[in-house]
A = this chain, B = another copy of it.
Amino acid sequence: MNNVCEKRLQELRAYMKENGVYAFVFLTGDSHGSEYVAPYFKTREYFSGFTGSAGTLYVGPDEAYLWTDGRYFIQAERQLRGSGIGLMKMLEPGVPTLFGFLSDHIPEGKVLGIDGRCMTAKEGERYEALALEHGFVLRTDLDPADSIMTDRPALPDSPLTIHEAKYVGETPKERIARLRDKIAAAQGASYLDSKLDSIMWLLSLRGNDIDYNPVALSHIIVDERDVHLFVDESKVTEPVAQYLDLYGITRHPYDALRSFLSEYTFRGDMLCDYGCVSDYYKRAAQDAAGKAGFEVRPFDSPIVSMKSVKNRTEMECLRECYKRDSAKVCSFIRWIQKRVREDSPITESGAAEYLDSLRAEIEDFRGLSFGTISAYGPNAAMMHYQAEPGVSDAVLKPEGMLLVDSGGQYLSGTTDVTRTTALGRVTDAMRRHYTLTAVSNLQLMGAVFMEGCRGSQLDILARMPMWKEGLDYKCGTGHGIGYFLNVHEAPPSIRWRTAPGAIEPALEPGMIVSDEPGVYLEGEYGIRIETILEVVDHRRTASDHFLAFRPLTLVPLDRKLLDPSLMTEETKALLDDYHARVYDEIAPLLPDEDREWLRRETLPLSDPAQ
């Protein structure tokens, strides 16, 4: 792989020279501000060989660097080896930010290239301001991948499906009406959105254009009278066409947005979320609006916050969905422990395949919500490790720990769960670190907090047990999750490092967030416990409204890895309560042999029977 990338960089540098470009930056984005993108857009991966979901590649005349965050340090080091690309570990002391680096390294008057189609309008503005400040030139009209990637994948073309009303509890008509109220409140006449999960949510549609993300490449324009959906006609089946007609939604080809804008009758300002609409389409909208005497105004998508609060129907579906999903994870844990104990050889990817096959048995299963992470021993120290037969696929032995982070896409919701499991003999250090992780996980789960609290204010509950031991996991504690949509769904999050001045929404009942502290020791082992939590009403007093969390994920923690002497009575009680609920809710869903296993795994910590 690395030799391949070296060659690709040579071709790129030749292209740059030809086009008078001093340096090129490859972002991870598509034309929709997506976190995960269709293969067509994976130019950063093509030129660097780094497959992580977050990273930015800088290619200068003689040097190249990749910036990525703590989840990917170990993986990036491995994948970049021999490529000639240096690793920039984001947020580590002494490591320059990409912007700091560009300020210092692009000489005045030289050209920095970035493909404007793969960059959001917001990013475009920031790069433009930087170029202006430091006197270099930003060119966004070049797409070197188009010339160099001879085998560039086509744009995806999976069919659209309708997300049925019984799962959604709200019609597109109702959601469009709520959106129009927000547009009117902001004195906008129309609204342009390119965010794929927002468009899917608004219209109760789903696609299959991006691995694990049930979305279809599309844009939308909503104004007072009409809704214009830009999606390739090949994706629109007859029932979907009828459904769109029913709601008065006009269809246009995916690539017709630019020409549509140039002919669109503006009746006032157009609102546009600069965080997802690409630089390219924002400029097109600005040109067209300007001619009509109106403006395109930056506007935080109201859909993003609307969809983060799940409604009653969605929450009811989710609770059942998480039970079915949790039951499969329980069966998997029992199965893999037994399998390894019986000394029947299996690898990381074999374990993942088995878990995936169990999930596929669930009636409304529609795929995985991300590639199952099955990481044994030191591999688990890489937060987003992916086993790959023939490349890295450890054989599981009856010792140490297996970390499995997995989730499914169901009509009734998106799941995400991590459990770390002892496969046999474990060291005292492993037990100490697992117990610490469990305490972190439980302390956040047991939080009670005032309405209005933000995730950044709760993060310390999970993190302080780690910090007291001089440890820290280099990622957030939790992220929001979509509803039969993306497994990472902003804005809810639990993380203490927030940008200064960033606007972070308060946690509200109906939001769901992950609770996933961990300990990662490079070359040794990795531990993560991830439980999805629902924000619920806790108590109302005369003056105050308190909220709390209620776990959706119901899979026991591993008793063999817990050292109760390192836990307070309070955290022991939290665990016993959790385990009692796990047994009550999951046992009825399990086959007999798994049920007995679950009973033993969920006994109170103080129970001598264990």
Contact = CB atoms under 8 A, between A and B. Distances in A.
Nearest to A500: B503
A457 B568 contact: no
A449 B460 contact: yes
Interface string A542-570: 01101000000000000000000000111
Contact of A460 (B457, B497, B569, B570): B457
Given A459-B457, A501-B503, A464 B447 contact: yes
Interface string A453-475: 10011111101100110111000
B543 A496 contact: no
Contacts of A496: 450, 453, 457
A320 interface: no
Nearest to A506: B500
B546 A470 contact: yes
A81 interface: no
Given A470-B546, A472-B544, A501-B502, A460 B464 contact: no
Contact of A568 (B452, B468, B504, B568): B568
A541 interface: yes
A437 to B, nearest CB: 17
A539 interface: yes
A539 B470 contact: yes
Contact of A569 (B447, B453, B457, B569): B569
A448 interface: yes
A481 to B, nearest CB: 23
Nearest to A570: B568
A450 B501 CA distance: 19
- Residue among A92, A460, A568 having the largest count of chain B Cβ atoms under 10 Å: A460
B456 A468 contact: no
B92 A543 contact: yes
A568 B93 CA distance: 37
Contact of A467 (B450, B543, B569): B450
A504 B498 CA distance: 11
B449 A546 contact: no
Category for how many chain A residues contact B: 35 or more
Given A456-B457, A501-B503, A448 B464 contact: yes
Contacts of A539: 470
Contacts of A456: 456-457
A470 B569 contact: no
A111 B449 CA distance: 43
A264 to B, nearest CB: 31
A464 B500 CA distance: 25
B457 A453 contact: no
Interface in A483-505: 496-497, 500-504
A58 B584 CA distance: 59
Contact of A470 (B459, B541, B568): B541
A448 B472 contact: no
Contacts of A503: 500-501
A461 B569 CA distance: 18
Contacts of A464: 447-449, 461
A42 B257 CA distance: 62
Given A459-B457, A460-B457, A452 B497 contact: yes
Nearest to A569: B568
A186 to B, nearest CB: 15
Contacts of A541: 470-471
A472 B496 CA distance: 23
Given A457-B460, A460-B461, A468 B497 contact: no
Contacts of A543: 92-93, 472
Interface in A152-176: none
B448 A468 contact: yes
Interface string A115-143: 00000000000000000000000000000
Interface in A549-602: 568-570
A332 B315 CA distance: 58
Contacts of A504: 500
A546 to B, nearest CB: 6
Interface in A428-462: 447-450, 452-453, 456-461
Interface in A502-520: 502-504
Contacts of A449: 460, 464, 467
Contacts of A461: 460, 464
A472 B460 contact: no
Nearest to A546: B467
A503 B503 CA distance: 11
A56 B500 CA distance: 30
19 contacts: A92-B543, A448-B464, A449-B467, A450-B463, A450-B467, A450-B472, A453-B460, A453-B496, A456-B456, A456-B457, A457-B459, A457-B496, A460-B461, A461-B464, A467-B546, A470-B544, A470-B546, A500-B504, A501-B502
Name the 4 nearest CB pairs between A and B, nearest first. Answer: A470-B541, A448-B468, A448-B467, A501-B501
Given A452-B497, A456-B457, A471-B541, 11 more contacts: A448-B468, A449-B460, A449-B464, A450-B467, A453-B460, A456-B456, A457-B460, A458-B460, A467-B546, A472-B543, A501-B502
